[in-house]
Amino acid sequence: MQVKVSSRHGTIRPEAHEHITTKAEKLLTYFERVTEIEVTVDFEHEKVKVEILVDTEHKHDFISNSEGEEVSVTFDAALHKMEHQIRKYKEKLQDHRRDTPMSGPVE
């Protein structure tokens, strides 16, 4: 699994880069099929926009965005949204499997 961190219109401090990488890797605890995580930090005027793209094998990708004033806080907000999406998707998969009948029709 790869974590790519990139920035537009500015640079990310090394400690913020480390924070982003460490926290992004924890997404594997929610969903093992993650193949790649891309984090883009966009510095626009006084604001910071963070976008997280999570690529999973065999399924669709997940995207979350957040906007704020500080890189770490904004990333944490976007990560929280991502965790929620992945948890919801995983629960949907697990519930779908439980809905199938285990035996034939009941008379």
Domain ranges of the chain: 2-97
Please tell me the predicted confidence (pLDDT) of residue 84: 92
Average pLDDT, rounded, for the chain: 85
Q: Would you say 67 and 48 are in contact if contact means Cβ atoms under 8 Å apart?
A: yes
Looking at residue 104, its pLDDT comes to 52
> How would you classify the pairing of strands 34-44 and 47-56?
antiparallel
Share of the chain above pLDDT 90, in %: 50
The sheet carrying 62-68 orders its strands as: 2-8, 34-44, 47-56, 62-68
* Mean pLDDT, range 73-96, rounded to an integer: 87
Answer CATH for 2-97 from 3.30.300.30, 2.60.40.1180, 3.30.160.100, 3.30.530.20: 3.30.160.100
Per-residue pLDDT reduced to its tens digit, 26-74:
888 878 888 889 999 999 888 999 999 998 887 778 999 999 999 999 9
Indicate the pTM of the whole model: 0.81
d(CA 84, CA 3) in angstroms, rounded, equals 19
